[in-house]
Amino acid sequence: MDRIVILTGSGISAESGISTFRDKGGIWAQYDVRDVATPEGFARNPAMVLEFYNMRRRLHQTVAPNAAHAALAKLEAAHPSEVLLVTQNVDALHERAGSRNLIHMHGEVFKAWCTSCDVRSDWVDDLSAESQCPACSGTGRMRPDVVWFGETPYQLDPIIAALRAATLFISIGTSGTVYPASQFVDLAGRSGARTVELNLEPTSGAAKFSHTRHGPATEIVPAFVDEFLNGGFPGRS
């Protein structure tokens, strides 16, 4: 049986109506990443950063998982102990599609982190300077529980252990720009895994992968999962 690690990025959520970051007109074309996705930006202007994530949290409540999210949940349901899904996305579309063995390495927009008591709480409403921590009742110390540039991604130890043991690594809807996620394909490949890029178009790192399929995620991800489940994908399964 294969041991599968899947990495997703914003491209898997694009057809659900959530902008990607670096495509034309993407999020980083509208906002300066240094202002809204760094601890320094938050320290400079917390209200602006809180509003940036409030706007995204409100949008994320209006969208739904797509066929690509559903296909990954189907793959995990067929092989529950062999699939780890690592997402760079802060939306909740994977869990809403049914994925369970899931790590949000860049955090979750539907969680708030109290920097006073360090407790993280589910959060669906807007965050403001007046927001009160459910755990310690403190105010003025809540931030979105997302990993900003310069901060350490979550759960890297279990992710790296899974990559070292992987026989199949699948990268979906990510440009492979952001470190350390961009190195996962190298680590999996060095561990002997087959490596697959499923993306709208070839990324700059496409040559690192042993297999590449290009097209919209809602088409190529269900097709790949069905091929894999029917034993049609080459190599160990």
One of 59, 63, 200, 229 touching ligand BV8 (CB under 6 A): 200
Say how many CA atoms lie within 13 Å of 162 toward its Cβ. 24
- Residue among 14 and 133 whose Cβ is closer to ligand BV8: 14
Pattern 119-158, binding to ligand BV8, x per CB under 6 A? ---------------------------xxxxxxxx--x--
Q: Please tell me whether residue 62 binds ligand BV8 under the rule CB under 6 A.
A: no
Angle at which helices 217-229 and 67-78 pack, to 10 degrees? 20
User: Applying CB under 6 A, what is the total number of residues that bind ligand BV8?
Assistant: 37
Q: Please tell me whether residue 180 binds ligand BV8 under the rule CB under 6 A.
A: yes
- Residue among 11 and 41 whose Cβ is closer to ligand BV8: 11
Q: Distance (Å, rounded) from C-alpha 7 to C-alpha 95?
A: 14
141: amino acid identity, one letter:
R
Q: Please name the helix (run of DSSP H) or strand (run of DSSP E) that holds residue 195, with its range, or none.
A: strand 194-199
Q: Please name the helix (run of DSSP H) or strand (run of DSSP E) that holds residue 52, with its range, or none.
A: helix 46-60
Q: CA-based Rg of the chain, rounded to a whole angstrom? A: 18
Catalytic site residue 106?
Answer: yes
CB count within 10 Å of CB 156 equals 14
Residues of span 17-56 touching ligand BV8 by CB under 6 A: 20-23, 26, 37
CB count within 10 Å of CB 90 equals 23
Q: Please tell me whether residue 98 binds ligand BV8 under the rule CB under 6 A.
A: no
152: amino acid identity, one letter:
T
Name the closest residue to ligand BV8 (Cβ). Answer: 11
Q: Please tell me whether residue 203 binds ligand BV8 under the rule CB under 6 A.
A: yes
Active-site annotation, residues: 106
Return residues touching ligand BV8 (CB under 6 A).
9-11, 14-15, 20-23, 26, 37, 88-90, 106, 146-153, 156, 173-175, 177-180, 199-201, 203, 216-217
